[in-house]
C-alpha cells in the first residue's frame, strides 16, 4: 500500500494488485477540504431564535442562520424556511454543522380569525413538514449533527399536577401543540442525538423591544394596555434563561452528551439545580424562583425599573412605552 503522488492528482491510498493493476481508495474526509464549523439556527428571525443567534455570535460561535424575514444578524443568513431552498442547501454545503438549533415559530396568532382547518394546515406545515425536510438533509450521514429542538410546554395541554415533569403524558389540545408534539417525535426518531426543550411562557423583551412572536401574545396584549392577569403567570421563564438553556443543550450534545428532554420554565422553577443536573454542570448557588420574578429582573436590567412587587398596571405602561420606543419613566406607584 502506498500513497499516490502529485502525478496522480489528489492523494489516495493505492494498492497494486498482483496482476499489476492499481486500485485507488478514497475515503470521506481525505479529498474534501475541511469546512468551517458553524452552529445552525433555524427560525433566526423569531423572538427566541434571534436572541439565541445573537447570543451565540456574542459568545464567538460562528453561526449560519435561516430566517423567514431579515434578522439583521452579523452571520451568514438565508431567507426562507427549513424546507426546500437552494440557497440554504448551498450554505449548508459550504459549512460543517456542529449543532442545529431548530427554533420553531408560531405561524399564526392564537385566537385569530382563520378557519381552524387553515390553522391546522399551517401548523403542520411549519412544524412537521419543515422539520422533516431539515432532518432528511442529514438522515444518511453517519456523523449527523445533533439537533436542539425548541418546543413548547403546550404539548402537555392543560397540565396537572403542577409543576409538570418531563415524564407527564402529552395531551396537546390544539393543532399547534399537536404539530409540535409530532415534530418532537420526528426529531427523537430521526436525529441520533437530540435535545428537546419544552419551554413554558417566555417573557422579557429582546433587543428590539419585542416581547413575543405574535402581536396577540398575552404579554403583548398586556403591553398594549390590556391589564389582565396572565393565565400561567408563574410558569413564565425569562428570554435570557431560555437562550442560556438552549446554548447549554447545544454544548451538552456537541460534547457527546446523551439525548434528553427538558422542561424550561416550570420545571426549573421547581428545582433550581435541575438544569445543572441535566447538563452535568456544577450546582449553582441558590436562586430565587424563576418566572415572573426573573422576568422582572430582566426588565429591570433593560428598562431600569425595579418594582417592589408585581404591579400589572405599571408593568403594562412600562412595556407599552418600551414597545413604542419611548424612554422609560419611573412609575409612580
Partner 1 sequence: MISLVADVLTDEWVSLADARQERPLTSPGESACPFCPGPRSEVGLTPFHVAVFPNRYPVFDHPGAAEVVVYSPRHQDDYGHLSPAHGRLVWQVWRDRSAALAERTDVESVLVFENRGRRMGATIDHPHGQIYGYPYVPPRLAHERQVGHGSACRLCRVDAWTLPAAEAPHWRLVVPRAMRMPYQLALVPRRHVGTLAALSQEEVAEGAHLLQRAYRAYDRLMGYRAALAMGVHQPGRAGHLRLECLPIERGQLRQKYLASSELIMGAFVTDIPAERAAERLQAALAAESLMSPASSAHHPGDPKEPRHDHSC
By the criterion CB under 8 A, which residues form the site for partner 1?
A: 1, 7-10, 12-13, 15, 17, 21-28, 31-33, 82-90, 93-94, 133-134, 136-137, 139-142
Nearer to partner 1, 86 or 325 (CB): 86
Q: How far is the CB of 82 from partner 1 (least distance, A)?
A: 8
Q: Tell how strand 13-16 and strand 2-3 pair up.
A: antiparallel
Nearer to partner 1, 9 or 255 (CB): 9
Closest CA to 28 of 132, 140, 192, 135: 140
Q: How far is the CB of 328 from partner 1 (least distance, A)?
A: 45
Are 14 and 24 in contact by the 8 Å Cβ rule? The answer is: yes
Nearer to partner 1, 20 or 161 (CB): 20
Are 180 and 104 in contact by the 8 Å Cβ rule? The answer is: yes
Name the DSSP letter for residue 138: T
Q: How far is the CB of 71 from partner 1 (least distance, A)?
A: 20
Nearer to partner 1, 7 or 160 (CB): 7
Nearer to partner 1, 15 or 226 (CB): 15
Q: How far is the CB of 312 from partner 1 (least distance, A)?
A: 45
Name the DSSP letter for residue 125: I
Q: How far apart are CA 265 and CA 215, in angstroms?
A: 22
Q: How far is the CB of 15 from partner 1 (least distance, A)?
A: 6
Nearer to partner 1, 132 or 312 (CB): 132
C-alpha cell at 290: 424563576
First-last CA distance in the chain: 83
Report the phi/psi class of residue 9: left, alpha or beta, with left for phi > 0 and alpha for psi in -120 to 50. Answer: left
Q: How far apart are CA 257 and CA 269, in angstroms?
A: 24
Q: How far apart are CA 18 and CA 9, in angstroms?
A: 23
Amino acid at each position: 500500500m502506498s500513497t499516490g503522488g502529485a502525478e496522480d492528482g489528489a492523494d489516495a491510498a493505492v494498492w497494486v494488485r498482483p496482476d499489476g493493476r492499481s486500485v485507488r481508495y478514497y475515503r470521506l474526509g481525505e479529498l474534501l477540504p475541511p469546512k468551517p464549523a458553524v452552529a445552525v439556527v433555524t427560525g433566526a428571525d423569531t423572538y427566541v431564535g434571534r436572541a439565541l443567534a445573537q447570543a451565540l455570535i456574542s459568545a464567538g460561535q460562528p453561526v449560519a442562520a435561516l430566517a423567514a424575514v431579515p434578522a439583521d444578524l452579523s452571520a451568514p443568513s438565508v431567507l426562507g424556511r427549513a424546507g426546500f431552498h437552494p440557497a440554504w442547501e448551498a450554505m449548508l454545503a459550504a459549512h460543517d454543522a456542529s449543532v442545529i438549533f431548530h427554533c420553531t415559530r408560531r405561524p399564526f396568532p392564537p385566537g385569530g380569525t382563520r378557519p381552524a382547518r387553515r390553522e391546522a394546515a399551517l401548523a403542520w406545515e411549519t412544524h412537521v413538514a419543515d422539520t422533516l425536510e431539515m432532518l432528511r438533509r442529514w438522515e444518511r450521514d453517519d456523523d449527523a449533527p445533533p439537533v436542539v429542538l425548541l418546543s413548547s410546554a403546550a404539548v402537555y395541554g392543560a397540565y396537572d399536577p403542577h409543576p409538570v415533569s418531563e415524564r407527564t403524558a402529552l395531551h396537546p389540545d390544539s393543532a399547534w401543540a399537536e404539530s409540535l408534539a409530532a415534530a418532537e417525535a420526528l426529531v427523537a426518531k430521526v436525529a441520533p442525538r437530540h435535545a428537546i426543550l419544552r419551554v413554558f411562557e417566555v417573557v422579557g423583551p429582546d433587543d428590539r423591544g419585542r416581547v413575543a412572536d405574535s402581536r396577540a401574545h398575552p404579554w403583548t396584549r398586556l403591553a398594549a394596555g390590556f391589564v389582565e392577569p396572565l393565565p400561567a403567570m408563574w410558569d413564565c421563564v425569562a428570554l435570557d434563561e431560555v437562550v442560556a438553556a438552549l446554548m447549554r443543550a447545544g454544548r451538552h450534545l456537541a460534547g457527546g452528551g446523551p439525548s434528553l428532554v427538558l422542561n424550561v420554565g416550570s420545571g426549573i422553577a421547581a428545582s433550581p439545580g435541575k438544569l445543572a443536573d441535566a447538563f452535568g454542570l456544577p450546582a449553582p448557588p441558590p436562586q430565587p424562583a424563576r418566572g415572573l420574578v426573573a422576568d422582572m429582573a430582566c426588565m429591570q436590567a433593560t428598562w431600569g425599573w425595579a418594582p417592589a412587587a408585581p404591579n400589572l398596571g405599571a408593568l403594562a405602561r412600562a412595556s407599552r412605552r418600551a414597545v413604542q420606543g419611548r424612554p422609560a419613566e419611573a412609575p409612580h406607584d
